[in-house]
Amino acid sequence: MLQKWPSIDKRTLESPADFVASLPIDHEVGPVETHGGSHAARQQMQWFLKQGLPRYAEQRNDVESECVSQLSPYLHFGHLSVHEVFHELTKQEKWEPSQISPKVTGSREGWWNMSSNAESFLDEIITWRELGYNMCHLRDDYDQFSSLPDWAQQTLGEHKQDDREYVYTLEQFEKAQTHDPLWNAAQRQLVRDGRIHNYLRMLWGKKVLHWTNTPEYAAKILIHLNNKYALDGRNPNSYSGIFWCFGRYDRAWGPEREIFGKIRYMTSDSAMRKLNLKGYIKEYSEAKLFG
């Protein structure tokens, strides 16, 4: 049976800080600068379509360029719908359904017959998003290690006893107290801004697997940190992103490595070589976060 949300009185509206303080939520998590609501959501959508999308295909992994959509929190809380984003995108692309290719190749681009930037974005907001939502709808264990493909569970199990040079606790991860400046910066971005840049979120997850005594515990740590701090935490796509780090929606990779086995491997050193990250690390320094 549907029920209306209780109305809010004028006194509460005039004292929002007091109202928030009275809520049964984790008050250790501080506020972020991102504004919520449908107005802010549409502003962000329009910024992305005009400023970010033209650079998306080539620069979306470039942390400094900041051309990603940042729409995930608005979609998560229902401040914006995927249908509206798609509608605005098709208007900008001057696209009609008749342009869809009759040939299905499984390729990321070429089916919509839009620009490469638009098709790259649609691959994320439609294909990958729908995969995550279907997973959570169809499987009760979507947030469990048991949901991983058999090959991933097997290879991680075979390497569970491998020696680990670094092993950190949940508290050390949460406070960004690892030996890795780039990982620490990503964790501080999560705590301060409620998000991690898309590319670095993958690295963030992979390194927790690397530095935890078991892959099962690594998954629990990532879910805890993401659900506690991320604006889009608890979303089906968040679970997709976390478990992708353990092999979901991926294939076996070689060469087989310690701890990871056949799971896709990522390193901070490789990311530092590929991307200009000095400014990012400086921006999310400990002094700026806690000072």
Give the integer Cα–Cα distance in Å for 214 and 266: 18
Under 8 Å between Cβ of 208 and 196: no
> If the chain, 291 residues long, is cut into consecutive pieces of 10 residues, what is the mean pLDDT of each piece?
79 89 92 97 99 97 93 98 99 97 88 97 97 98 98 99 98 98 98 97 99 99 99 98 99 98 98 95 80 46
Which tokens in the block code for residue 169? 């606790």
Under 8 Å between Cβ of 168 and 212: yes
Domains of the chain: 36-95 (1.25.40.80), 145-290 (1.10.579.10)
pLDDT computed for residue 289 by the predictor? 63
The end-to-end CA distance of the chain, in Å, is 49
Under 8 Å between Cβ of 192 and 157: no
Give the integer Cα–Cα distance in Å for 250 and 151: 10
Give the integer Cα–Cα distance in Å for 31 and 232: 14
pLDDT computed for residue 291 by the predictor? 46
Which tokens in the block code for residue 74? 């608005």
Helices then strands, each counted (H, E), the chain: 17, 0
Secondary structure (3-state) at 290: helix
Query: Is 0.85 topped by the overall pTM?
Result: yes
